Structure 1
């Protein structure tokens, strides 16, 4: 779906705890592995986050996309508080790696700077 004023809309699932941080406006960086379907994310595009098996969604606008070789570098450069202000860097690293094993991290990682549009 393309709109000349908002760019493309991408649909991604998000765990409830992160969804709530996004809708509160306190999570401004989303972390993802650089899967092929995410390689074309661009500033101006939107992401509609869904909580799996619910009707709950929110929309964010992509402000910036940065690529890193690993999660540690991403957290150091972006600032752990922008990813999850309720957890320490070490807790976040453990949580992220529980979601994405080493083989996925090896694909490269993305820091997606977001701004809430509709929550």
Structure 2
């Protein structure tokens, strides 16, 4: 895929996760399987932004894997790839604080990313 046809997706991130992505230590981004992410695929670019700021960080999508729920995702991907600063149980609590049960029921996406540049 040439750069001219690369799709760019803009997504918001909380500061704590943005900093991990920018540092290259967070290699798996967790999202609910929303319809607007259905076409997300390897080779795409994600421009993460801290909501309400001009701070951005661009990453390349390496792989997108679907899971039934957040527990299966953390077990399948390894919690250290999602957030190297928190335990599996802390991460599960944090993710579920962002996404309530009705959102988790849509399915979970593990988006493997790598920094651009």
Measure how far apart 1:102 and its partner are.
0.3
Shift of 1:11: 0.2
SS in 1 for 2:64: strand
Which residue pairs with 2:39 in the alignment? Answer: 40
Superposed CA offset, 1:45-72 (max 9, x none): 0000000011000000000000000000
Query: How many residue pairs align between the two structures?
Result: 116
Match of 1:90 in 2: 89
TM-score by length of 2: 0.96
Per the TM alignment, residue 7 of structure 1 is displaced from its structure 2 partner at its CA by 1.4
Moved over 6 A (4+): none
2:2 aligns with: 4
Counterpart check, 1:80 vs 2:79: yes
> Do structure 1's residue 24 and structure 2's residue 40 form an aligned pair?
no
User: What TM-score comes out, normalization by structure 1 length?
Assistant: 0.95
- Per-residue deviation, 1:4: 2.9
Separation in 1, partners of 2:16, 2:116: 19
Q: Which residue of 1 aligns with 2:110?
A: 111
Over aligned residues, Cα RMSD in angstroms? Answer: 1.1
Partner Cα distance (1:55, 1:7) in 2: 22
Give the corresponding residue for 1:54. Answer: 53
